[in-house]
């Protein structure tokens, strides 16, 4: 079989499948990437293909015989659905309503009546969506946090907490934190004596609470060994990315900034 014959056979298969599913000849030809004239010419010269076309109920110049989806589409449009929403609800292809309206004046008139019936519902639904978008969310939400920043204001504590909760729930942030935690852990294991000294110094400070002395000491250790920490973080980041799924992979490639006091 030559390449041309293979393309012809593939086009025939697609056209027959689409016609059997209820599509028009124009839609079937568009999905098969051939012209209706080409299919007509093939039907004239190929007896087998002509019989297969006849089995689908299609005749040259005739509309699609399958009208089972018409009532479902008309009911959806009358209830306020758009043309695309009606096609999705009926499970038909994009553009089938438009193509059928061109080929069937009676169906086109029925669609026009259904659109007039559902016009009030569509307008009410659109107005509700616009009102919902325009509704200003109060403090304590991520939207309010962004509004503070856009106005050049300092975000309030509730907005900060809301934004932090959203950020921490992202898979990329979790992977980022995991790599940072492993890198700090390895750095602490490498410099045990220095970390012990820094922790004791933090516990003796009177202006800070002694409960988080080790955490502050570890942040100081990270600042003292920046290059080593960044190298460890890069290794842990690669390990996390290798284990994570594509959706969970972190987006920020930089090492996290040192924590604690500056």
Q: For residue 191, what pLDDT is reported? A: 92
**Could you tell me which residues come within 8 angstroms of residue 72 by beta carbon, excluding any fewer than 6 positions away?**
86, 89, 90
Q: For residue 244, what pLDDT is reported? A: 64
Q: For residue 193, what pLDDT is reported? A: 92
What pTM does this model have? Answer: 0.35
Q: For residue 246, what pLDDT is reported? A: 52
Low-confidence ranges of the chain (pLDDT < 70): 1, 57-66, 134, 244-262
Burial group, residue 200, by CB count within 10 angstroms (0-12, 13-18, 19+): exposed
The answer to whether 145 and 159 have CB atoms below 8 angstroms apart is yes
The answer to whether 215 and 260 have CB atoms below 8 angstroms apart is yes
Q: For residue 260, what pLDDT is reported? A: 47
What are the extents of the domains in the chain? 3-55, 70-121, 137-169, 171-243
Q: For residue 225, what pLDDT is reported? A: 92
Distance of alpha carbon 29 from alpha carbon 23, whole angstroms: 10
E strands present in 61-216: none
Q: For residue 60, what pLDDT is reported? A: 60
Q: For residue 262, what pLDDT is reported? A: 40
Query: Tokens in use for 200?
Result: 């004791």
């Amino acid at each position: 079989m030559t390449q041309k014959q293979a393309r012809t056979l593939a086009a025939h298969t697609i056209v027959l499948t689409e016609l059997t599913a209820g599509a028009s000849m124009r839609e079937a030809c568009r999905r098969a990437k051939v012209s209706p004239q080409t299919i007509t010419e093939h039907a004239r010269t190929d007896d087998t293909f002509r019989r297969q076309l006849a089995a689908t109920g299609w005749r040259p110049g005739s509309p699609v015989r399958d009208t089972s989806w018409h009532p479902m589409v008309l009911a959806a449009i009358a209830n306020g659905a758009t043309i695309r929403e009606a096609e999705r609800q009926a499970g038909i292809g994009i553009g089938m309503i438009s193509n059928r309206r061109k080929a069937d004046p009676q169906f086109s008139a029925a669609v026009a009546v259904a659109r007039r019936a559902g016009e009030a519902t569509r307008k009410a639904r659109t107005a509700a969506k616009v009102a919902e978008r325009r509704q200003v969310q109060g403090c304590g939400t991520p939207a309010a946090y962004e509004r503070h920043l856009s106005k050049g204001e300092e975000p309030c504590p509730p907005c900060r907490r809301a934004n932090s909760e959203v950020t921490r729930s992202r898979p990329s942030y979790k992977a980022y934190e995991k790599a940072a935690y492993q890198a700090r852990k390895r750095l602490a294991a490498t410099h045990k004596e220095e970390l012990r000294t820094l922790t004791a110094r933090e516990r003796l400070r009177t202006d800070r609470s002694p409960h988080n002395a080790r955490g502050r000491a570890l942040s100081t250790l990270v600042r003292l060994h920046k290059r080593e920490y960044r190298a460890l973080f890069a290794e842990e980041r690669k390990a996390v990315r290798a284990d994570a799924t594509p959706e969970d992979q972190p987006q920020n490639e930089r090492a996290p900034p040192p924590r604690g006091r500056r």
